[in-house]
Amino acid sequence: MYVILVKVLGVREANLRRELAILIVLGGEGAVEDGGLGVVRIADLIGREKSQVSRTLKTLAESGFVDRDPSTLRYRLGWRFFALAARAGEQRLLSVAPPLLERLVKNLGETAHLSVLQGTEVLTVLSESPPHAVKADGWAGRTVPIYCTSSGRALLFDHDYEALSGRLSGVEFRELRPGTVRNVEELHESLGAARARGYAVVDEEFEFGLVGAAAPVRDFKDRLVAALNVSAPKFRLGGRLESAGQEVKRAADELSALLGWPSDHGYSDGDSSGAS
């Protein structure tokens, strides 16, 4: 019985290694660019027999971890793999972000936030404040407008004019402050300048005396999944808002890299205290 058990476990381990090897090669740059790989090519890359690879691919396809293109007969990563990756990405985002928030607070001496897009608002999911702040966690769980905050603009980096108009079609652009953007056209123009820098800044658009800087966070598929931002009273941060934006962008790019983001897709380095 012991010998049989060892053999069974050995077979299962071998199958698992083969499955993992296949998923790894299908996730490679060449496979993605070519729209998948054929059985023979996969077998060559992982050093296995074609028949073994074919059986394993059939099992993976039945589970949704790979798909087969009916036209080219090439295999590619499937919907279940990406669903699990997305779930893992959310968990990893929340687990690796705190040290970067703490570093921003230490370097800038101001409150830092991690925010995500929630419809037409920005939801703060993590917040870190310096010792002088009255509340260290007062912003976590709160939402702010998307159109007049730096975090909102960073989360809209990938929206062109059409997408921006669609998302904000039912939003009333309330003039919270004299400098608040008043319509989609002005917001689109502001986003263009923010993209060129690689980070967004707002100066008293959301709240009197409040300024902020934010940069987008991306995942392994280059999707914009969150934003890092710092905000503070203008008398403290206003004179160093651009340098703060560059600091936030560096932290956001580092966080993105931890999520598997291909950094060659990045924006410019930008040489040119609510979640604002």
Are the CB atoms for 207 and 197 separated by under 8 Å?
Answer: no
Instruction: Determine the pLDDT at residue 275.
Output: 59
Domain 86-265 class?
alpha beta
Domains of the chain, residue spans: 2-77, 86-265
Tell me the mean pLDDT in the region 167-184. 79
Which two structure tokens, joined as six digits, stand for 89?
Answer: 């990405």
Sign of the torsion angle spanned by Cα atoms 156, 159, 165, 169: negative
179 pLDDT higher than 80: no
2-77, CATH topology level? Arc Repressor Mutant, subunit A (1.10.10)
Mean pLDDT of the chain: 81
Q: How confident is the model at residue 113 (pLDDT cuts 50, 70, 90)?
A: very high
Tell me the mean pLDDT in the region 248-254. 96
Q: How confident is the model at residue 105 (pLDDT cuts 50, 70, 90)?
A: very high
Instruction: Determine the pLDDT at residue 42.
Output: 87
Q: In one letter, which amino acid is 108? A: L
Tell me the mean pLDDT in the region 268-274. 41
- Nearest Cα to Cα of residue 82 among 66, 95, 105: 66
Exposed, middle or buried, 96 (CB in 10 Å: 0-12/13-18/19+)? middle
15 pLDDT higher than 80: no
8 pLDDT higher than 50: no
Tell me the mean pLDDT in the region 166-190. 81
Instruction: Determine the pLDDT at residue 255.
Output: 94
Instruction: Determine the pLDDT at residue 107.
Output: 94
Q: Which residue has the higher pLDDT, 262 or 223?
A: 223
| Identical fold between 2-77 and 86-265 | no
Q: Which residue has the higher pLDDT, 82 or 26?
A: 26
Instruction: Determine the pLDDT at residue 200.
Output: 94
Q: Which residue has the higher pLDDT, 253 or 55?
A: 253
Which residues have a Cβ under 8 Å from the Cβ of 256 and sit 6 or more positions away? 216, 217, 218, 219, 263
225 pLDDT higher than 70: yes
In whole angstroms, what is the distance from residue 199 CA to residue 213 CA? 7
Q: Would you give the DSSP letter of residue 156?
A: T
Per the rule left: phi > 0, alpha: psi between -120 and 50, beta: everything else, 240 is alpha
Helix H segments across the chain?
2-26, 29-33, 39-46, 50-62, 79-108, 150-155, 161-167, 184-197, 234-237, 241-258
Q: Which residue has the higher pLDDT, 117 or 7?
A: 117
Tell me the mean pLDDT in the region 159-163. 91
Give the 3-state secondary structure of 30-69: HHHHCCCECHHHHHHHHCCCHHHHHHHHHHHHHCCCEEEC
Q: What is the pLDDT of residues 130-144, one digit of tens each?
A: 876 544 445 666 788
